[in-house]
Structure 1
């Protein structure tokens, strides 16, 4: 637990909006009756849901633009100790989350069948590599690295496989490195959308967030800053759509075009929030999202464990998750609206916990 440091309000609100949306898209009452913007694109393409995770990485980078100042005053030994500790904790929490509830049919769930990579693991890896990069290099070099990483990833995808679910280079590396039993099976085959190879372009989302945060801190919250952020954001969106002609926008492969598109959208969204909240002071509506933004990691983990627990509890031959969704929400409002209301219920339940933590001044950090 720690006391929050002063940051610009738009960052906490942006992070909070993203966490709220992440909980909603991760916990529909029924995936068969879910509004299409709340589903990932099946393969190539882009939906609102596809924006959630890269935005999370973007705000990780944005937050790093504050913390790295302190790290710069440390020696290299203290810096690596701090960064490696945070990496290890976040990665381990992600792994334990997939292993949870640890026991099945009275026996310990086998580690040999537990997913290794995932959302928190990708956040940990991107944080680690971006921290080391940004600790040692200047802005220009970080931009050059980002360009090289995206071009290199494009070349690897084309040279070592195709762009299909079953033949892509990311799948080949993960299959060789960790084996099918440790991978995500939600696509119908062993394929991990948060695997090792596609972590390379995802690091660029963190770098984009960091450079954005540094720019705002250096130039202040004014019309010129907002205008420049919007112009760069639009340029990245255009570049991403242009790159889509050569390498399709694909969240599950985390293609280079996907990185540019999402980074551009995030830049524009943050610019709008800086204008509305930090310049115009129109913040009467923000507290709901600030609650999520102040305890981001804890509330995300809480939401995942809550959902996993609801699935683990058996009721009428199914799960408590499905029973509540079907008998409370779907029964009252129909399939699509009931599915959405169930997800909102999960999100609001987690918010209530965050609300009491905020009122008690409890902020969980790693």
Structure 2
């Protein structure tokens, strides 16, 4: 975009920092509840992070392709970017810091965060190139309704009624188990599974629609109204289709889109309308978001897998010797470790920004 909307970069940076914060506690045995995902149904602040990022991907799609027309060259660029994201995700799942650098293929997890971003980006970008905002809105609504009907009302192959609970007769879990088999995050389901990727496309398309609105905004009132509508719809639908990140329920899409729109409205008002210098530190991270997320995941995994003794890895050694010995509680020490990691990547983002290094994935 010729003139960047800074609030989008800031929200993207906040989201990446939040991802790193919740993914790298000092110890998983001592984490404050808001920094954990809901066990199944429900919504914690941590559950907001991934849908926020897909929402921002949608906004970015609008501004990146609003002057583009469908062509072989555009399709090629979209496909290459999607494959890069999927490839990086598979690399993280394959990687161990010892020869031969590969996990056993029989239990390799096929899906993950970056893989879902790649798939969602590809489908959403293609849809945006071919349809106007009204059709995209219709597709989004259709996805949410059809997904609800499938998971809530269509009988399983054995004739039993479906459920939204963590059980074999949950359609999302059933499809993942039968298609992916052992290639999942958990033996019975994958939070970035196949069927639940479909409603995650709706999260991204809502971002595309919000991007369309941002391009014409003169005040934040429309954003505030839309956020209220999404939140009311999401929490109302929760009565019949529980808010659930693991299966990316339709109510989850609506509620998280409502929170994303509301927070974006607040940042947009302060930064882009009132020109208040706010959140610039997050903008540095937001402009190299995927690169910083990938590096944080790669380094964190390396720290966990590299032993410094028979009982300790680099991660546990650093936490034990630099944080766990303090007079703070274990939970707070664990949080301090995570905050230190976030500060490191914020500094990295600042250095990349100052050197005008922007790595496009």
CA–CA separation in structure 1 for the residues paired with 2:341 and 2:322: 13
Give deviations 1:301-342, integer Å, cap 9, x for gaps. 011011001101113312211121222112212211111011
TM-score norm. by structure 1 comes to: 0.92
**Cα offset for 1:107?**
6.9
Who is 2:268 aligned against? 274
Contact 1:198–1:253 (Cα < 8 Å) also in 2: yes
Gaps of 5+ in 1: none
Contact 1:102–1:109 (Cα < 8 Å) also in 2: no
**Cα offset for 1:349?**
1.6
Who is 1:165 aligned against? 166
The one of 288, 291, 312 equivalent to 2:284 is 291
Contact 2:143–2:198 (Cα < 8 Å) also in 1: yes
Gaps of 5+ in 2: 157-161
Aligned residues: 351
**Cα offset for 1:48?**
0.3
Contact 2:13–2:285 (Cα < 8 Å) also in 1: yes
Who is 2:339 aligned against? 344
Deviation >6 Å, runs of 4+: none
Who is 1:184 aligned against? 185
Alignment of 1:199-348 (within 5 A): 199-217=197-215, 219-220=216-217, 222-223=218-219, 226-283=220-277, 285-316=278-309, 317-332=311-326, 333-348=328-343
Contact 2:57–2:204 (Cα < 8 Å) also in 1: yes
CA–CA separation in structure 1 for the residues paired with 2:324 and 2:83: 40
Contact 1:241–1:261 (Cα < 8 Å) also in 2: yes
Shift of the 100–139 alpha-carbon distance from structure 1 to 2, 3 Å rule, reads same
Deviates further, 321-330 or 266-275: 321-330
Q: CA RMSD in A?
A: 1.5
Contact 2:176–2:193 (Cα < 8 Å) also in 1: yes
TM-score norm. by structure 2 comes to: 0.94
CA–CA separation in structure 2 for the residues paired with 1:70 and 1:115: 37
Deviates further, 229-238 or 168-177: 168-177
* SS in structure 2 of the partner of residue 331 of structure 1: coil
Is residue 22 of structure 2 the alignment partner of residue 25 of structure 1?
Answer: yes
Contact 1:28–1:340 (Cα < 8 Å) also in 2: yes
CA–CA separation in structure 2 for the residues paired with 1:246 and 1:286: 38
**Cα offset for 1:110?**
2.0
CA–CA separation in structure 2 for the residues paired with 1:70 and 1:30: 47
Higher helix share: 1
Contact 2:62–2:128 (Cα < 8 Å) also in 1: no
Who is 1:135 aligned against? 129
Contact 2:96–2:102 (Cα < 8 Å) also in 1: no
The one of 349, 361, 364 equivalent to 2:359 is 364
Is residue 49 of structure 2 the alignment partner of residue 52 of structure 1?
Answer: yes
